[in-house]
Amino acid sequence: MGYAIMFQKFSDYLSGFGFATKDTSEEKPKFEYSLDKDKKEQLKDSEEKPKVVALYDKSGGTTYCDLTIEYLETKGFEVIPVTPQEGLSHPAFTGKVNGIYLPGGPNVPVNDHRDPRKKFEGDLTELAQTKDIPLLGICRGQQTVGHFHGLNVTDIPEDANQHELHYEHFDTVFNDTKDPTYNSKVVVGEGSQLYNALHYKLKHKDKGDIEYNVTCLHHQHVEENEANSSLRVTGRGKFDGLVESVEKRTGKYYTLGLQHHPEAVISACSEARREKVNRIKEEALEAQVDVNHFSDPDIAYYTTIQYDKKLREAYTPSKDEKAARAELGFFSKQVKQHYLESAPKREASIVTRDSFPWGF
């Protein structure tokens, strides 16, 4: 008798007694690059850091590039800024590169084949594919990835009054968030690795579309082309359907493009959190001063509990911040896995009698 038949018969038997067996037909989307405990310990013990090369163009785009570099450094990476003038001749490329970052910046000069930045972006896009290196492109970075995969990069559609239609829904987003950080909304459908990363981070309860608010700052976009399947479109704008995210598997790893700016969301949320936490702590201190802890211990205790709750709420990230961290986490976790492929393995400790001075 086959195992499947035996299991079904056993399930039927248990159901007769009121026991329900777990339905495994609806498995959760799997994010490939989550790190288990051993890999986290291996990273912690390593003397070196995963290395990320960041295109750094001082003529434009450094503000948000710096925010992403700061985020990546908090993840334990060595981030090496390389200018278009230095290109692939930079010493960083003599060793192993674990990740590549293409930031935002001025509009892509699609018809200027001599532009040094665009040439370097093309070199890095090709390097990520041929060497199977995780790549993250944000804003212009996504556009150049699309450009070098044969997709058109054009200006955002405008109405008769030259208003960019992509930014006509700010009020709708603000009514939802009450936060001016956000000006657009993205929809990511199931089936992509980005979706799996979001599902993993947000603990999404089903396999339906995932929507979240984002910060857009672009004036160009990648045109979707059904005849060109070199890149997979993974996310679109909720209001206009413009391409908001793309991905391509290059081997074990992915090239990831994001039209919006998760680094801006993370930075704004972190700053707002710091201000809110400081304000709550000041209010809590003032409240405790006004309470007599000897004559009114119950009121003092209640005040402490009340402000502890406010602090917990202040430290809890919103869904939109979690989504931004999931997007960058898709890249950063790949970088860590890429690094661990050639990193020294962590040796298991052997327990002997000498480990215990008092003996067994």
Q: Which of 61-70, 115-124, 136-145, 280-289 has the lowest mean pLDDT?
A: 280-289
With a pLDDT cut of 70, the percent of the chain lying above it is: 86
pLDDT at 21: 46
Closest CA to 134 of 200, 214, 51, 46: 51
- What are the residues whose beta carbons fall under 8 Å from the beta carbon of 118, sequence distance 6 or more? 108, 109, 112, 144, 147
Q: Domain 37-157+164-267+318-341, what architecture?
A: 3-Layer(aba) Sandwich (3.40)
Q: Is the pLDDT score of 127 beyond 80? A: yes
Q: Phi and psi dihedrals of 239, rounded to 5?
A: -95, -30
| AA letter at 60 | G
| AA letter at 290 | D
pLDDT digit string, tens, across residues 316-345: 999 999 999 999 999 999 999 999 998 877
Q: Is the pLDDT score of 1 beyond 70? A: no
Q: Is the pLDDT score of 359 beyond 50? A: no
SS3 210: strand
Q: Alpha carbon of 195 to those of 17, 144, 352: distances in Å?
A: 39, 22, 47
Residue 337 tokens read as 């896995």
Q: Which residues pair with 80 in a beta bridge?
A: 53
Q: Is the pLDDT score of 79 beyond 90? A: yes
For the chain, the average pLDDT equals 88
Higher pLDDT, 351 or 149: 149
**Of the ranges 69-78, 165-174, 286-295, which is most confident?**
69-78
Q: How is residue 213 annotated by DSSP? A: E
Q: Which of 92-96, 168-172, 292-296 has the lowest mean pLDDT?
A: 292-296
191 Rama class: left (phi>0) / alpha (psi -120 to 50) / beta: left
CA distance 51 to 298: 54
The average pLDDT across 86-101 equals 97
From start to end of the chain, where are the E strands?
A: 51-55, 78-82, 99-102, 135-138, 153-155, 184-188, 210-214, 220-222, 232-237, 243-249, 254-258
Task: Give the residue carrying structure tokens 């430290």.
Answer: 315
Contact 266, 146 (CB under 8 A): no
Closest CA to 265 of 134, 105, 71, 81: 71
Sequence spans of domains, the chain: 37-157+164-267+318-341, 274-315
Angle at 259 (CA atoms; ends 257, 263), nearest 5 degrees: 90
pLDDT at 204: 81
Closest CA to 188 of 200, 196, 177, 176: 196
Residue 294 pLDDT grade (very low, low, confident, very high; cuts 50, 70, 90)? low
